[in-house]
Amino acid sequence: MSFLDYAARGHNAGWRYVLALSLGVILGMFVGALLVVAVQSSGMLPRGWLVAARDPGQPVSFFLFNGVVFGLLLLGVALAVRRIQGKRPADLVGWWSWRLFGLGAGVWLVALTVAALVDFAIAPSGFRFSAGDDTPRLVVAALAGLAIQVFAEEFIFRGHITQGLMLAIRRPLPAALLSGVIFGAIHIPNGTVQAASATASGVLLALIAIKTRGIAFTSGLHLVNNVFAAVVVVSAGDVFRGSPGFFSQDTPHLMWWDTGVGILLFLLVTIFVYRRRWLPDPSATTQGP
């Protein structure tokens, strides 16, 4: 079954895609706002908890709150897509293989480790060991919160949005380009560098999802990418700055270098996916969600 076969399930008029996504986001935000008001009014959490939830230096609050926010967004979109388009969550997930998930995670862990070692060789003074008492809690909270965030982003961007674009355009590269632009646009508040990086990676992740017929590989890759940045090597120029990870990196002069290296690594992984004939037969593989 191809990526387009999964995309073709349900009702796929353009207006349904726009309405389902818009309604899903609004629903997630509305429920989230209600929960914040309810918790704030109940006094169950200490004063200032919302400020702590925005501070990576307080990892349990930050990452678990992050997970709740993206979990509500995921739930809202899944419900809206089911109601308006008649699509099940599995239709947007596509072909799920834990082997692909693990492969995506493993390949990208190697890539990030090599990139970090190169940076260290160039500017060793920009690195320091920063693990502390909060690091074990960070590991658990980051894995939990980021797993939800990553799956929500893959479900929405490489699932719902890329499927819709593929149905409309029928050509992988133009569909992936538009998907990447949309993914990059939501990262604009994080700064120009991260928006540029997200745009390029969004294009390549969309191409990988199309090739692998689902979001398993991209979810594994994306999860390792975010956990590495939040736990292993925390950059002073990243949204996770201040997180008590194992190492911290403060090399602003390497900002665009790192962006270029990251894009190159994404490109190499995409070529690996497209050139290799290791993709197993879906009919012989256990399906996920």
pLDDT number for residue 284: 47
pLDDT band at residue 281 under the 50/70/90 scheme: low
Q: Read off the pLDDT of residues 239-277 as tens digits, 9 standing for 90 and up.
A: 899 999 999 999 999 999 999 999 999 999 999 999 876
Is 45's pLDDT higher than 70? yes
Name the domain count of the chain: 1
pLDDT band of 20, cuts 50, 70, 90 = very high
Backbone angles phi, psi at 188, to 5 degrees: -60, -40
| 29-43, 57-71, 272-286 — most confident range | 57-71
Give per-residue pLDDT as tens, 215-237: 999 999 999 999 999 999 999 98
pLDDT band at 44 (very low <50, low <70, confident <90, very high): confident
Report the chain's mean pLDDT, rounded to a whole number: 92
**Size of the chain in residues:** 289
Task: State the residue for tokens 């290296």.
Answer: 261
Domain limits for position 11: 3-284
Buried b (16+ CB within 10 A) or exposed e, 41-53: eeeeeeeeeeebb
Residue 262 lies in a domain: yes
How far apart CA 177 and CA 182 sit, in angstroms, is: 9
Report phi then psi at 44, rounded to 5: -70, -30
pLDDT value of residue 86: 97
Which of the two residues, 48 and 182, has the higher pLDDT score? 182
* Cα 147 to Cα 108: distance, rounded to the nearest angstrom: 16
What pLDDT is stored for residue 282 in this prediction? 54
What are the start-end ranges of the H helices in the chain?
3-7, 14-42, 49-52, 59-85, 89-93, 98-122, 135-153, 162-169, 172-185, 192-212, 216-227, 255-275
Q: Is residue 47 over pLDDT 80?
A: no
Strand 233-235 and strand 127-129: pairing?
unpaired
The region of weakest confidence among 18-27, 37-46, 189-198, 262-271 is 37-46
Is 289 within the bounds of a domain?
no
Mean pLDDT of 7-23: 96
Tens of pLDDT, residue by residue over 143-189, are 999 999 999 999 999 999 999 999 999 999 999 999 999 999 999 98
What pLDDT shows up at residue 263?
95
pLDDT of residue 40: 78
| pLDDT score of 278 | 60
For residue 30, pLDDT beyond 50 = yes
**Percent of all residues in the chain with a pLDDT value above 70, rounded to a whole number:** 96
Does residue 214 sit within a domain?
yes
Is the pLDDT reported for residue 288 higher than 60? Answer: no
Residue 70 has pLDDT above 60, yes or no: yes
The per-residue pLDDT for 48 is 76
